[in-house]
């Protein structure tokens, strides 16, 4: 795990802070850790953005890579949010959500009369709105 964090050019203090969290990093799947980081790179996230996300939400690294891909694709394709890097840099904890949770949020907002464009604008202007439900 330390070598992966070093590849993200993290400061030693950030690495210490992450490792001091009450998280069983030994149970993380190394392939998913690497896969999730590579996915963010493929979606255009900068090294700095990835580093910020991991520092704030290291638990996301334990997501199954397929689940992260499904989430990113849904937000990009279904909600037409182009700047995923800005969205997740603003709220790194969104990466710990599953696609169905975002879909439920969208469905609820549609029932309230919002269009997909309205929902997109809402999420982009307040990335924490999904957590407020």
- What averages of pLDDT result for each successive group of 10 residues across the chain (133 residues)? 87 90 88 95 96 94 96 96 93 94 95 96 92 74
**Residue 1, pLDDT score:** 76
Q: How far apart are the first and last CA of the chain?
A: 34
Q: Residue written as tokens 């997109």?
A: 120
CA-wise closest residue to 126 among 80, 69, 68, 87: 87
The answer to whether the beta carbons of residues 133 and 108 sit under 8 Å apart is yes
d(CA 5, CA 15): 7
pTM: 0.89
d(CA 45, CA 39): 9
**Residue 133, pLDDT score:** 59
């Amino acid at each position: 795990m330390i070598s992966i964090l070093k590849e993200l050019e993290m400061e030693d203090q950030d690495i210490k802070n992450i490792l001091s969290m009450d998280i069983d990093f030994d149970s993380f799947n190394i392939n998913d850790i690497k896969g999730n980081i590579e996915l963010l790179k493929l979606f255009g996230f900068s090294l700095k953005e990835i580093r910020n996300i991991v520092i704030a939400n290291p638990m996301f690294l334990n997501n199954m890579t397929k689940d992260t891909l499904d989430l990113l694709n849904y937000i990009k394709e279904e909600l037409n949010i182009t700047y995923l890097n800005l969205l997740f840099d603003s709220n790194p904890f969104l990466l710990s959500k599953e696609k169905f949770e975002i879909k439920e949020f969208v469905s609820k907002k549609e029932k309230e009369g919002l269009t997909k464009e309205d929902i997109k604008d809402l999420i982009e202007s307040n990335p924490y709105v999904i957590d407020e439900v």
